[in-house]
């Protein structure tokens, strides 16, 4: 009982800090009662391709990478979820009762507030603020995907790489990224050799320093 009370108090604190839009006091109390805090280790798969989504994740710490899985085994990076984010595709899978067409993987140790999907429809009819929150999730992810399409269609790879490094350092609040050239290539949907060549060019300009599975960014890109 004491542990549950402590968890409910922590959920309340996390909602206030990262999801201020969920401002209805009665809704927050119901979330406290229904949700649980889930710790996810780096590289742990939060949602598997082909499985049914059982929780709506509210990210409060760390970083979750969402990728699309194709039948031939290829993966397509879609977006990252950082503290204050939730996953539009998870919500869509919950509403359609369809198996997940994507993976959600922790890029670093992360914490989420997991809300069972059984409460989603109930809160939609009960709390306007919950509906607005659901709509905002779709809007945010849609804008992000449109920007990603624009990058692929209109920007050169070197510009996309510079923008990628800038966003990554800002999101992680660190100028040193623990990441491989292959991981960057997958997220930019391009060849590893192209990424390696451009990173060496940036290093020769003094913008970055390459290490073993790491990149130190000397100044903000762009």
| Residue 161 tokens, joined | 């790489």
Question: What residues contact 136, with CB distance under 8 A and at least 6 apart?
Answer: 21
pLDDT of 221 reads: 44
Residue segments in the chain with a per-residue pLDDT below the cut of 70: 1-4, 73, 151-154, 219-222
Give the rounded distance of the alpha carbon of 3 from its chain centre.
Answer: 28
Own/partner long-range contacts of 26-35 (Cβ < 8 Å, ≥24 apart): 26/127, 27/123, 27/126, 27/127, 27/129, 27/130, 30/119, 30/123, 31/113, 31/115, 32/8, 33/8, 34/115, 34/116, 34/119, 35/11, 35/113, 35/114, 35/115, 35/116
Give the rounded distance of the alpha carbon of 197 from its chain centre.
Answer: 28
Indicate the CATH number for domain 156-217.
Answer: 1.10.10.10
Domains 2-152 and 156-217 share a fold: no
Domain boundaries, the chain: 2-152, 156-217
What's the alpha-carbon Rg for the chain, to the nearest Å?
Answer: 19
Give the rounded distance of the alpha carbon of 195 from its chain centre.
Answer: 22
Give the rounded percent of residues in the chain with a pLDDT score beyond 70: 93
6-59: pLDDT as tens digits: 888 999 999 999 999 999 999 999 999 999 999 999 889 998 888 888 899 999
Q: How far is CA 143 from CA 9, 88, 126, in A?
A: 33, 12, 28
Indicate the CATH number for domain 2-152.
Answer: 2.60.120.10
């Amino acid at each position: 009982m004491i542990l549950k009370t402590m968890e409910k108090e922590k959920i309340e604190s996390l909602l206030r800090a990262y999801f201020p839009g969920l401002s209805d006091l009665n809704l927050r109390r119901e979330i406290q009662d229904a949700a649980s805090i889930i710790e996810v280790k780096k590289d742990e798969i939060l949602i598997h391709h082909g499985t049914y989504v059982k929780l709506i994740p509210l990210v409060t710490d760390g970083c979750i990478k969402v990728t699309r899985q194709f039948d031939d085994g290829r993966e397509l990076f879609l977006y990252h979820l950082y503290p204050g984010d939730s996953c539009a595709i998870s919500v869509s899978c919950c509403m359609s009762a369809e198996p997940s067409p994507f993976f959600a993987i922790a890029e670093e140790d992360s914490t989420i507030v997991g809300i069972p999907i059984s409460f989603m429809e109930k809160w939609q009819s009960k709390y306007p603020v919950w509906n607005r929150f659901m709509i905002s999730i779709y809007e945010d992810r849609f804008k992000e995907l449109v920007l990603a399409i624009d990058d692929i269609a209109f920007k050169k790879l070197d510009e996309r790489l510079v923008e990628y490094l800038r966003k990554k350092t800002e999101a992680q609040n660190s100028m040193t990224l623990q990441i491989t050239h292959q991981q960057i290539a997958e997220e930019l949907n391009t060849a590893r050799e192209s990424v390696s060549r451009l990173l060496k060019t940036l290093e020769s300009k003094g913008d970055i320093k390459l290490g073993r599975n790491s990149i130190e960014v000397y100044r903000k890109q762009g």
